[in-house]
Structure 1
Amino acid sequence: MKIEDSVVFVTGANRGLGLEFARQALQRGARKVYAGARDPASVTLPGVVPVKLDVTDPAAVAAAADAARDVTLLINNAGIARVGSLMDDGALDALRDHFETNVFGILALSRAFAGGLAANGGGAILNVLSVASWVNRPILSAYGVSKSAAWALTNGLRQSLREQRTQVVALHAGFIDTELVRGFEVPKATPADVVRQAYEAIEAGAEEVSTDDFTRQVKAGLSGGNYLNDTAPR
């Protein structure tokens, strides 16, 4: 599908990667861009339609889908990432929190918007995932588990929505220069480059896109035994 003339809904669109998704959608000629955020007042990008949205609140999700029935592209960008190991105190609660946003949030939005996408010709859903879908280190263990689950969820949604001609795209990236990883002293991609590649993948009809060399190497090595353990960032 083309971004030009599309109607885009971005979750977590008030800052970081979500803000860049909204900005580039406008630049690429989207007819309308909805910007979902817990606090609509925090959405300051001119030209978008702010929508109050907490992806973990079923009533808020239903209300957002009802208010944006013309959507042709849903971008599930909202997510959380908390530092910690699966052996830390509170790991179970942390994992539940990650799943509520990073997994169940994606599923709730996708289910809520699926009918509208079908009515509007099929459209597309893009889920923001991570290289952590495939590698896991103690610094972000719960996050990695949730992204692995979100990858499986994305693959399942793709099969479930194929009959209604909805394109479902998985976006995998390493560290991106946003507030989410501000304290990490590691190489980071720019939000602008990641979003550019995401939109190009959607327009090319792709089902999956990896936005940097390391992520592409990890994906290529999925069947390589100890490859992932040897190359995962520490």
Structure 2
Amino acid sequence: MDIAGATALVTGANRGIGRGFTEELLERGARRVYATARRPELIDTSDPRVVPLHLDLLDEQSVHAAAEAAPDVTLLVNNAGITTGADLLTSGLDEIRQDLETHLFGTLRVIRAFAPVLAAHSGGAIVNVLSVLSWVATPEGSGFYSVAKAAEWNMTNGVRVELAGQRTLVQGVHLGAADTDMTAGREAPKISPADVARAGLDGVQAGAIEVLADAPSRYVKAALAGDPAALYGAAR
């Protein structure tokens, strides 16, 4: 799929990885980018190709309104998310559900709304921004975030199968920590949002269904084929 001339919609586009995707899409010649957020007034509209839209993953009405407002989308980038830091054993269940409602059901809600739009434009492509925590849990408060991202990962795989008939490319992008507000104050190697966007869009142009954007994601993916003690030795 060519990015030049494409019409994209990016969720969570007001900052971080979402903003990185928006900027990279514009750099590659996208015709229009619908940049969505719960607070669209925070979107940078200095480029006339950027169209801000309100979209809240937990509000089905806002999702369908966005799909109606953007009937020409050929590329959907699902980036919006949260991290509550909820622990599996000690946090309240309502807090835990918020992670799952956002990353699994919220992302799926957007895909369901835009699948017919993509079908009307020869299939197009969907990019889901996932995480190395789709495959491994860590002791640094990743608890239910890991569970939610694992669910989103396999949902991505399932949606890929169901949308194959309409020729929609469904891609998962995995990364470790990105240099965003979400990881501020965390001491760890961090990939830049721009590099995540470049890797994801390179993958779209190449027809790749999975992108490992950095060294941590490549290491953990490779380790899944071996003894899990390599990842959880300290937790045994």
State the secondary structure of the residue aligned to 1:25. Answer: helix
Deviation by residue 1:119-168 (Cα, 9 ceiling, x = unmatched): 01100000000000000124111110000000000000000000000000
Q: Which amino acid aligns with 1:228?
A: L
CA deviation after TM superposition for structure 1 residue 231, in Å: 9.0
- The answer to whether the Cα contact below 8 Å between 2:45 and 2:52 also exists between their aligned partners in 1 is no
The equivalent residue for 1:21 is: 21
Q: Alpha carbon RMSD of aligned pairs, Å? A: 1.3
Identity among equivalent pairs (%): 50
1:84-103 equivalent positions in 2, closer than 5 A: 84-90=86-92, 92-103=93-104
Deviation by residue 1:7-64 (Cα, 9 ceiling, x = unmatched): 0000000111101111110110000000001111111242210001101100000000
Do residues 163 (structure 1) and 165 (structure 2) align?
yes
- The answer to whether the Cα contact below 8 Å between 2:45 and 2:51 also exists between their aligned partners in 1 is no
Q: Which amino acid aligns with 2:117?
A: G
CA deviation after TM superposition for structure 1 residue 85, in Å: 2.0
Where structure 2 has 5 or more consecutive residues not aligned to the other structure, the ranges are none
Do residues 124 (structure 1) and 125 (structure 2) align?
yes
The equivalent residue for 1:75 is: 77
The equivalent residue for 1:228 is: 231
Match of 2:67 among 65, 68, 89: 65
Deviation by residue 1:50-81 (Cα, 9 ceiling, x = unmatched): 00110110000000001101000000000001
CA deviation after TM superposition for structure 1 residue 95, in Å: 1.9
The equivalent residue for 1:105 is: 106
Provide the rounded CA distance (Å) in 2 between the counterparts of 1:103 and 1:89.
19
Match of 1:203 among 183, 202, 205: 205
Do residues 8 (structure 1) and 44 (structure 2) align?
no
1:37-48 equivalent positions in 2, closer than 5 A: 37-47=37-47, 48=50
- The answer to whether the Cα contact below 8 Å between 1:38 and 1:54 also exists between their aligned partners in 2 is yes
The equivalent residue for 2:137 is: 136
Deviation by residue 1:192-229 (Cα, 9 ceiling, x = unmatched): 11111111011000000111112111111212122232
Q: Which amino acid aligns with 2:232?
A: N
State the secondary structure of the residue aligned to 2:20. Answer: helix
State the secondary structure of the residue aligned to 1:143. Answer: helix
Q: Which amino acid aligns with 2:7?
A: V
State the secondary structure of the residue aligned to 2:191. Answer: coil
Q: Which amino acid aligns with 1:229?
A: Y
Q: Which amino acid aligns with 2:135?
A: W
Provide the rounded CA distance (Å) in 1 between the counterparts of 2:15 and 2:221.
28
Q: Which amino acid aligns with 1:217?
A: Y
Q: Give the TM-score normalised by the residue count of structure 2.
A: 0.95
Provide the rounded CA distance (Å) in 1 between the counterparts of 2:168 and 2:45.
28
Do residues 189 (structure 1) and 191 (structure 2) align?
yes
State the secondary structure of the residue aligned to 2:35. Answer: strand
State the secondary structure of the residue aligned to 1:74. Answer: strand
State the secondary structure of the residue aligned to 1:75. Answer: strand
State the secondary structure of the residue aligned to 1:30. Answer: coil
Provide the rounded CA distance (Å) in 1 between the counterparts of 2:183 and 2:23.
21
